[in-house]
Every structure is written in C-alpha cells, then in structure tokens.
Structure 1
Amino acid sequence: MLFQKKLERGNVGDIHYANGSIQFQSVKLNVYSYATDGIVIDAGSKSLAKQFQAFFDEQQIDALYCTHIHEDHTGCAAWLQNQRNVPVYIHKKSITEAQKKGKYPLYRQLFWGKRPPFRPLPVPETFHSRTYNWKSIFTPGHSADHIAYLNMSTGQLFSGDLFVQVKTKVIMDSESIPQIIESIEHILSYDFKEVFCNHAGYIKNGKEKLQEKLDYLYHVTDEVKKLFQQGMSVQEIQEHFFPRKYQITTFSLGQWDSKHIVTSILG
C-alpha cells in the first residue's frame, strides 16, 4: 500500500477528537477533527473519509464549523451535510469556492483526496451550541478565510492552522507571515488558556505557546529585514536561517518552502 492511513481517537474532557494521518515514504501529514457539545470543528480529509465518518457516526452533531476551506479541513463536509443533514459554516470569502469541486495541486489530491462540493452558510460572529457560547475570530494569514473558534464559556480556543508549531520552518506560497503575526496578536487579546490545534492537537498551555510563536516570528522578521538591508539576497537569507531542506518542498514542487517565509516578510 503506497499510502499508510491511520486514525487515533480520544478525548480531553468533553472534547472528542480524531487525528487522521497519511504517510507516503518519509512524508507524513496529519489533521484533527474535534467534536464537542453538538458541534464539529473541521471535517477531516476525503482521503480519510472512511476513518473520519466512523468517528462522526459516534457523535451527536448539530452543525459543522470549518476553520478554513483547505481540503484537509473540509473533505468530509459534503458527507456531513448530506448524510447527517447538518448545516455547515465557513467564512463568507469561501462560500463560492466551497460550492465547486476542490481545485488544488496533484500532491495535495494524492494526500488529502478530492474535496466534493458542499453548500455552506457564512459563519456568524457569535453562536451557541447546546450549552456553550462561542465567538468566531477572523485570523487570516495561513489562508485568506481563516477563522479560530473560542468557547467563551470554557476559555478553550480551537485555533485551526494558526499555531501548528512554535518555530515555523516552511510555509505555503500563499501564506503571509505579517498577517499571521497580526492574527496571533489579535487572538492573544482574548481570555483563554487551552488550545486545540488541527495539526498539533491539544496544547494545555496553548496561550503561552502562541506567545512563543509570536516572539519567534518577531525575531525572524527583524533578522530577515536586517540581513536584506545589509545586501543579502533572498536565497542567502534562506540558507542562513533555514539550512535544512525538507522533503515536502520537493514533493510539493516548491509550494511549501522556507523561501516563502523570507519573501512574505520582505513583501
């Protein structure tokens, strides 16, 4: 079997999670879906539909809230809408795109499958689940439509792809480091402690880790600008900061690359 697939399930209190992973040779990618208090946050990928659907079948679901349009977060949205008859919410920027079949590079289709179209509604600024009050927080940077969901009743943040890791080493060519910085600054103004990330999972001291990431991005930004002013090229700055070459860069034909961190900062 070329692609190895796996799903781990568990819970943190009343928050149930499914962590789906798919591996090809040494490249391993994963994505989480969370279910709590009648809502699901992100729908997993189409390539792991069998695994995620088994998880969803065990949950009571009133609605699906998507953090953004990327196919590893919306791959089973159509199934939830059609088979479980639940409303699906996403940022208004992505409603038109969601109604069409997913269009993205071949390597992402191989890993995450081909996302079917679905019919979402725009995410409200605030909403209620069965017992909790929620706030939708616009946090662009990883994608233009990115939203984090804050459970205002419990102080738990569902951060989508805003965090992922403290020390960012590669990003997609469509991402914006300056926007990510602004979004983290904004999110840190809210009252929360625990973070549920769609790739790193549960982070008990999540607010502290987001602050660490922000400090790291401040440092990288300052150093990149300083080295550029001293006359170093983009490639020289990249080799200085990010000497390691990651296989995802080759596999994605450069869509994922540390170079994009440098060019994003320099504008």
Structure 2
Amino acid sequence: MRFCKTYDFDHGIKALQLGWSLAGPPMMTVYCYLFGETMVDTGQSHMKKEALALAGSHGVKQIFLTHHHEDHSGNAAAIHSAQGATVYGHALTQTKLRTPYDILPYQKYVWGKTTPVSVNALAAKIDTSLGCMMPVHTPGHSKDHTVYFLPEQGIIFSGDLYLGDRIKFFRSDEDVGTQIASLKKVAAMDFDTVLCAHNPCLKNGKKHILTKLDFLENLYGDIVFLWEKGISERQIFKKLKLREARFIKYVCCGNVSMLNGVRSVIHNIG
C-alpha cells in the first residue's frame, strides 16, 4: 500500500505525509515539509515517486535534513539529481551520508535504504522565503539530530525530537539523558508550532515539548533512584510498570523497545 497525503498549513507551508507497506496500512508514516524553494526532510525511498513529484512541482532548490535516518534522508539524493537541489545537514550527517551504511531488515522493509549524497555544511542563519531559519543541534535521538527554527513565525521543524508527549519505545542507540538536554535547549526558544516528522502540533507546541521533557525527566529520575538501590534493569522495568509494544519489539528484533530507555539511563549514570 502506498499512502500519500498533502496538507496546507499556515505561512504557505505544505506537509507531505508518506507511508508504505506491502499490504495493509503502513506501520508508520513520515512527514516532510516544503515552503518556497525549501524542503525539510525528504521521506523514505519507498515513496520516491511521490516525494520527487512534490519537490519538482515546488521547484525545491535547498533541502535541510534533520538527521540521517532513512525515513528523513531517503529521497535526498534523488531530488538532488532530478533538480539540482543542494542538500544541507549537520557535520555528522555529512559523514554518515557520504557512503552507504548498514541498516536492519525492518528498517529496509519500512523505509528503504538511503542513497549516499553530498551534504553541505549548515550556516548559523539560513535565508528562506519565510525569513531567517536557524539550525539547532539537538542530539539524543541520533548524534546528528538538528531542528530548524523559524523565529519570525514561531515554528520549529523538529524531526524526531518530539514524537509524542509520552514515549512508548526507544531505539537501542538513543541517549535519553542527551535528549533531555536537547528538549531543554528547544524549550527555551519562542515558538508555538512544532512540525514533527511523525506527529505535527500546529498549536501549543511548546506545551507538548515541555510535557515530553517532564515525562523523560521523571522516567530518568525514577530509573536512577531504583538503580542506585541495586535493582536490576528488568526489575526496574517491572517496578515502574513499564510496558512493551511487543509487536514493534518483535518486528524490530529488539532494536526498538521500552527496555532500551531503561538501559540508556543506566548507561548514562555508569
């Protein structure tokens, strides 16, 4: 099944929601955003035809990647080749996308692979049709994760920084402590709209960011408290009455699970 839906948001921002599966509804969809000649993230390569069509119709000339994950960078090379769009991202994104990299079977199935592409360095301030846009390095979900802030409109393109008020699972390579620091950095900014790659919040965006921050800080504190009492990670999981999304954990071969969040905190505190 191919899922493609477009939305028109304020300030002339268009959102493209993309999803793919062999049969039935997609396991997860992803949003990429366009305004003027600018595109933020490019969707998964399984949906290259749709992403190329929209980028072409908008005459996209510059692409800004929030991070290297294949649901965000999947069509960057194709759009660059088709219309000469320049791709920008964090220095770590540049390094990651310089050559092919290995992904797990579930990532290949859900998103598809990312084709290597030349990524240019980010300026401290970026000129766009909506005024100055500022990149803000926000690691945690990935080391290269970056959000883009439009201060005049009070909008952030948040990639995977937000996702939801409460998190049901974590990737094995996520760093919960670093995510908390990144959420605090963003919460200090002046915005109301969070254009998340999976769950956009058109109003009360800062409130949602603060709610997630509160959730992660409480989870982190509870895990530290129990770990310092000598309780094992699996006992902590049970004592905090955390739940696994078993289907997701199974399909992702354990790479995505709630237990990964407990392990990340324990790793942080040594």
TM-score w.r.t. structure 2 length?
A: 0.93
The structural deviation recorded for 1:159 is: 0.5
Match of 2:247 in 1: 247
Tell me what 1:182 maps to: 181
List gaps (5 residues or longer) in structure 2. none
Q: Which has the higher strand share?
A: 1
Q: How does 1:1-267 map to 2 (within 5 A)?
A: 4-13=1-10, 14-23=12-21, 28-239=27-238, 240-267=240-267
Percentage identity across paired residues of the two chains: 25
Which amino acid letter does the alignment assign opposite residue 20 of structure 2?
I
Cα deviations by residue, 1:44-94 (Å, 9 ceiling, x for unpaired): 110111122222222131200000000100110001111110110011112
Q: RMSD of aligned C-alpha atoms?
A: 1.5
* Structure 1 residues without counterparts, runs of 5 or longer: none
2:62, 2:38 → 1: CA distance? 5
Cα separation, 2, equivalents of 1:254 and 1:163: 22
The answer to whether the 8 Å contact 2:19/2:26 transfers is no
Residue type matched to 1:145 in 2? D
Instruction: Figure out how many residues of one structure are paired with residues of the other and give that number.
Output: 264
SS of the residue aligned with 1:241?
coil
TM-score between the two structures when normalised by the length of structure 1: 0.94
The more displaced of 153-162 and 54-63 is 54-63
Displacement after TM superposition at 1:26 (Å): 7.6
Contact 1:227 1:237 in 2 (8 A): yes
Q: Is the 8 A contact 1:194 1:205 kept in 2?
A: yes
Residue 202 and residue 8 in structure 1: after superposition, are their counterparts in 2 closer, same or farther (change >3 A)? farther
